[in-house]
Amino acid sequence: MAPKKKGAKEPEIKKKGGKKDPSVAIKPMEMPISEEIREFYHIQIRNLEDRLARYQRKWDELAMQEKLFRQEFEQLANNKKEIVAFLKRTLNQRVDEITDLNEQLQSLQLAKEMEKDAFEAQLAQVRHEFQETKDQLTTENIILGGKLAALEEFRLQKEELMKKFMSLEDQLRKQENEYKDYVHNLEKKSVLDKDRLRKEIIQRVNMVATEFRKVATNQMWDTTKRAITENNAVTLQLAKITRQGTQLLAENEQLRGHQDNLCKQLELLENSQKLMAKNNRGHQKVIFMLTEKCREQQQGMAEAKRLRVLLGQLEQDLLKQQQDNQALRNERDQLNLQLERQQAEGQRLQQQLTKEQEARASLETALAQATSFLQDILQMQPNEEDGDFNVVFQLQRKEMLQQLLLMLGSAVVSSPQMAKALHRERQPCGLPREGQDSSTQLLKTGSLLQQLSGITPYRPGDLGLVPRRIHIPPNPEDLRLLSHTTRMGSLQAYSSPEVRVPGGPRDSRMRAALGCISPLCHTAAVWLCGCGWTSLKPPLPHL
């Protein structure tokens, strides 16, 4: 760091030499510095180098942490974008599904209404037809009940008539058999009687002929008379037999007429039976038709019952669809609320990012102004006529340094993150340790701010080179070389809060002072890196 100061001093000497008149003699070399002041300078230089190395290490750590935080922030931003895209895509899918489900629900409701109207119309028509059929069947059942009662009476009468007819047939059959037997017996008897009579007549004729022959000789007259008498008796007997045969024939004719009457009655009964069978067949057809209609009505009632069950199932499905639709609506509302929360979170993050960008811009502006102030301070040159201790020059430089410190302090205080870190640092807490996670980053930043606040007191002229309470007396040898005005100014500077070391090189002291200020700017840039922004090193390589 000392060679840098020398290298920085040479251009200034050259510049001064360029400004001087060639006729002016070269300024004599300064007096050698004492060992105490040199030791003091070496100690200050080592202290500043150690502080610079420490700040450099802290800056490296903060840069690494800033890089990690940036990666985490980018990862979180990418994750957030992916989550938002996924949620939007899911929301669009759910909205499409809800739209499809609403369309399906509307179509199902329309179909249900149409089917319900059709089923109600069909059910009303079926009920009307069923009522009409029921009334008609009731009337027909009443009529058929009357007819059935008449048929039952007719059946009973028919059974009675059939019983009578069967009894009459049996009686007729018996009488016919008896009559046939009787006629056969009579015929047989008549034939036998005829044969017997013929034989008797022949025998008697033979006997009479023999007797007549006998008597013809004896009693011709008595025999003839007796033969005539017997002939008359036989004739009477034959007439009696003939009357009996005629009577039997008449009875036979009467029985035949009765049989004809019975046949006619049987034919009438058969015709009535056929008519009754025909009517019974027609009644059976009517009963079969009524049975078929009743079966159809039962099937219609079963179909209506099935339709009622199907309608109940459709209503249950409709209720289930409505419940599913309500659940989907609730889920959509939840997704909308979640999306609104995420949008609010995004807006909050956007506002926070805007605030951070504004704070960053303000800090960048402050750093740029501080850099320009430092450049202006470095470029300020006192007049050669006034010497090294120009009061106006020192006052201007002091005023600019105070403005620089006030500007940096206002920039640090105006930043909300710095204010929070300072507020937390004021509370009792332990120093941050290396190796901890990212949750201790604010504490590290706060401790760094505390150190910065410790090394940047806002007293005029206090550049932090030496402790405040340590009083270093001026070197008498250096005071002898100075004039009375300069000596009094040194004593006033010593008595003031600003600490100066007389006898040292002015540019070295000023560079040391600015070297104490430059870590402050560098620390502010490192703090910006710790807050998630890019590292902003002040463009002061010569410091």
Tens-digit pLDDT string for the chain (543 aa): 344 444 444 444 434 444 444 444 444 444 566 788 888 888 888 888 898 999 899 899 988 988 898 898 888 888 888 888 888 888 888 888 888 888 888 888 888 888 888 888 888 888 888 888 888 888 887 887 777 777 778 778 878 888 887 888 888 888 888 877 887 888 777 778 778 777 777 777 777 777 777 766 666 666 667 778 888 888 888 888 888 888 888 888 888 888 888 888 888 888 888 888 888 888 888 888 888 888 888 888 888 888 888 888 888 888 888 888 888 889 888 888 888 888 888 888 988 888 888 888 888 888 888 888 788 777 777 666 555 556 777 777 778 777 777 777 776 666 655 555 555 545 544 444 444 444 444 444 444 444 444 444 445 555 555 555 544 544 545 544 554 445 444 444 444 434 343 334 444 444 444 444 444 444 444 444 444 443 333 333 333
127 lies in the same domain as 47: no
Whole-angstrom distance between the N-terminal and C-terminal Cα of the chain?
Answer: 9
In a domain, 499, yes or no: yes
**Three-class DSSP category at 207:** helix
What single DSSP character describes residue 473? P
215 lies in the same domain as 121: yes
Distance CA 425, CA 420 (A): 8
Asked if residue 197 lies in contact with residue 234, where contact means CB atoms within 8 angstroms, the answer is: yes
Distance CA 318, CA 452 (A): 73
Taking each helix axis from N to C terminus, what angle separates 220-379 and 391-414, rounded to the nearest 10 degrees?
170
371 lies in the same domain as 261: no
105 lies in the same domain as 86: no
Looking at beta carbons, which pairs linking 400-404 to residues 24 or more positions away fall under 8 Å? Answer: 400/373, 400/376, 401/377, 401/461, 401/463, 401/513, 401/517, 402/458, 402/460, 403/373, 404/370, 404/373, 404/374, 404/377, 404/517
399 lies in the same domain as 288: no
For CA atoms 492, 493, 497, 499, the dihedral sign is: negative
Distance CA 497, CA 479 (A): 20
Residue 528: CB atoms within 10 A of its CB come to 23
Sequential DSSP letters for 235-249? HHHHHHHHHHHHHHH
Distance CA 345, CA 342 (A): 5
Distance CA 219, CA 499 (A): 232
In a domain, 8, yes or no: no
In a domain, 149, yes or no: yes
In a domain, 496, yes or no: yes
Residue type, 27: K
192 lies in the same domain as 222: yes
Distance CA 326, CA 324 (A): 5
**Three-class DSSP category at 228:** helix
Please state the length of the chain. Answer: 543
pLDDT for residue 219: 63
The token duo for 287 is 């009963």
Domain boundary (285, 303, 326) is at 326
How wide is the angle at C-alpha 464 spanned by C-alphas 460 and 468, nearest 5°? 80
113 lies in the same domain as 136: yes
Domain boundary (311, 326, 341) is at 326
Asked if residue 319 lies in contact with residue 112, where contact means CB atoms within 8 angstroms, the answer is: no
74 lies in the same domain as 150: no
Asked if residue 455 lies in contact with residue 464, where contact means CB atoms within 8 angstroms, the answer is: yes
Domain boundary (282, 304, 326) is at 326
299 lies in the same domain as 163: yes
161 lies in the same domain as 65: no
Tell me the residue range of the domain where 269 lies. 100-326
pLDDT for residue 33: 67
Q: In degrees rounded to 5, what are phi and psi of residue 454?
A: -75, -30
In a domain, 333, yes or no: no
299 lies in the same domain as 315: yes
In a domain, 299, yes or no: yes
Per-residue buried b or exposed e for 384-394, using 16+ beta carbons within 10 Å of the residue's own CB: eeeeebbeebb
In a domain, 370, yes or no: yes
Distance CA 10, CA 16 (A): 10
The token duo for 50 is 């150690």
In a domain, 484, yes or no: yes
* Residue with tokens 């009765």, as numbered in its chain: 258
Look at the chain and report how many structural domains it folds into. Answer: 2
pLDDT for residue 3: 43
Distance CA 145, CA 137 (A): 11
Distance CA 373, CA 379 (A): 10
* CA 6 to chain CA centroid, nearest Å: 78
pLDDT for residue 7: 43
414 lies in the same domain as 500: yes
Distance CA 141, CA 146 (A): 8
Distance CA 338, CA 283 (A): 80
Residue 484: CB atoms within 10 A of its CB come to 7
Residue 342: CB atoms within 10 A of its CB come to 15
pLDDT for residue 6: 41
pLDDT for residue 216: 63
pLDDT for residue 469: 52
- Nearest CA-CA partner of 528 in 421, 407, 401: 421
